[in-house]
Amino acid sequence: MTWMLYGANGFTGELIAEQAVREGEKPILAGRNREAVERLARRLDCPSRGFALSNPAEVARQLNDVDAVLLAAGPFARTSAPMREACLRSRVHYLDITGEFEVFEQCFADHHRAVEAGITILPGVGFDVVPSDCLAVKLFRELPDSCEIALAFKGAGSFSRGTLKTMLLGAKTGVMGRVDGKLLAVPPSRRSRKASFGSRELTISAIPWGDISTAFHSTGIPNITVYMATPRALRMAHSLLNVGHGVLLSNPVSQKLLPRLVDFAPRGPGEKLRSQGKMQLWGEAKNAEGRTVTARLWTREGYQLTVETALECVHRVRSGGVAHGATTPASAFGPEFIESFDGCQFV
């Protein structure tokens, strides 16, 4: 048995495929674009398959000789459900690199089906959300009676085309958070604040990051807000989220035009940025009495980290070390998991 990387011809998928081969593996490379997948597979000397996700029964047939699938094709709001259904039917472990909170919620809703099928469902095995999930659980362990948690990140600020398209699709929801255990619009009082990343305080702005789902399932904390800080690309993305919740993305013409404009953007961050870039995360937990604890986490650049964490998660799930059902990275491996990767440490 082997494993399958679906979306191998995308920016992040190709990086994962290349690293897997460097580590001596030969995963089945798959995707919707048969020609592009086959071209990559020839270069890397891997088996390949080209198929769409429109028919779960057909997708399940494609999985009859694999024991795990890593989904790297987004937007995951469109790809996760059919692939997950096929994995449940075929009794194949499911992993993905999503950061979309709606997709996380759907994955957790399939928990009991996954237990019955004897498989693990582990979404968010990339920068979304391995480091932030580990940070959330670390804070929770330090303050077990926490009722509120804030998480934030800053860093290189360069996105792939796939990430930008996913952000455009998710912009329709507006600025979301976890409020008293429910996924709701973030109250105005929580939409911006200050956070210290070490040298100075920065203004951070709320975004609908995946941890509003995963941190809740990892810790049970009922109030969760996720923020971003500083880089120009991230500020522009935040502005787009706010505009998108209004007129821009409610317009049918804009819904078709904006994703096409993204195709003119760079495919993703270059090798120099991926190898040298750094990401910084900050978190704060608070209990009902007002006591707070804070922590910071430094990691490698987001796409480079995604390659490493995704492959390690695939290895651990395939080895049988993760309980069946739907889970989060920190629930499966503990908050110390992130420090097992070079350049990642709590400070």
Ranges of each domain in the chain: 2-126+305-333, 130-301
**Is residue 310 predicted with pLDDT exceeding 90?**
yes
- Mean pLDDT value across residues 247-268: 55
**Is residue 246 predicted with pLDDT exceeding 50?**
no
Strands 278-287 and 292-300: antiparallel
The answer to whether the CB of 133 falls within 8 A of the CB of 193 is: no
Query: Which of 67-81, 154-168, 264-278 has the highest mean predicted lDDT (pLDDT)?
Result: 67-81
Strands 48-50 and 28-31: parallel
pLDDT band at 165 (very low <50, low <70, confident <90, very high): low
Q: Identify residue 86 by its one-letter amino acid code.
A: A
Instruction: Supply the pLDDT for residue 38.
Output: 98
Q: CB 57: neighbour CB atoms within 10 A?
A: 9
Q: What is the percent of the chain with per-residue pLDDT over 90, rounded to a whole number?
A: 76
- Mean pLDDT value across residues 76-87: 96
**What is the spatial distance between Cα 221 and Cα 209, in angstroms, rounded to a whole number?**
16
The answer to whether the 2-126+305-333 and 130-301 domains have the same CATH topology is no
pLDDT band at 276 (very low <50, low <70, confident <90, very high): confident
**Is residue 330 predicted with pLDDT exceeding 70?**
yes
The class (CATH top level) of 2-126+305-333 is: alpha beta
pLDDT digits (tens, 9 = 90+) for 55-65: 888 999 999 99
Which of 5-19, 120-134, 208-222, 251-265 shows the lowest per-residue confidence on average (mean pLDDT)?
251-265
The average confidence (pLDDT) of the chain is 89
- Mean pLDDT value across residues 133-161: 88
Instruction: Supply the pLDDT for residue 242.
Output: 53
pLDDT digits (tens, 9 = 90+) for 42-81: 999 999 999 999 988 899 999 999 999 999 999 999 999 9
- Mean pLDDT value across residues 142-162: 83
Could you tell me which residue, 131 or 172, shows the higher pLDDT?
A: 131
Instruction: Supply the pLDDT for residue 172.
Output: 59
**What is the spatial distance between Cα 99 and Cα 78, in angstroms, rounded to a whole number?**
13
Structure tokens at 332: 């499966």
CATH superfamily placement of domain 130-301: Dihydrodipicolinate Reductase; domain 2 (3.30.360.10)
**Is residue 234 predicted with pLDDT exceeding 60?**
no
Structure tokens at 273: 């940025």
b/e map 68-78, b = 16+ CB within 10 Å:
bbbbbbbbbee
Q: What is the percent of the chain with per-residue pLDDT over 70, rounded to a whole number?
A: 83
Instruction: Supply the pLDDT for residue 245.
Output: 47
Instruction: Supply the pLDDT for residue 223.
Output: 98
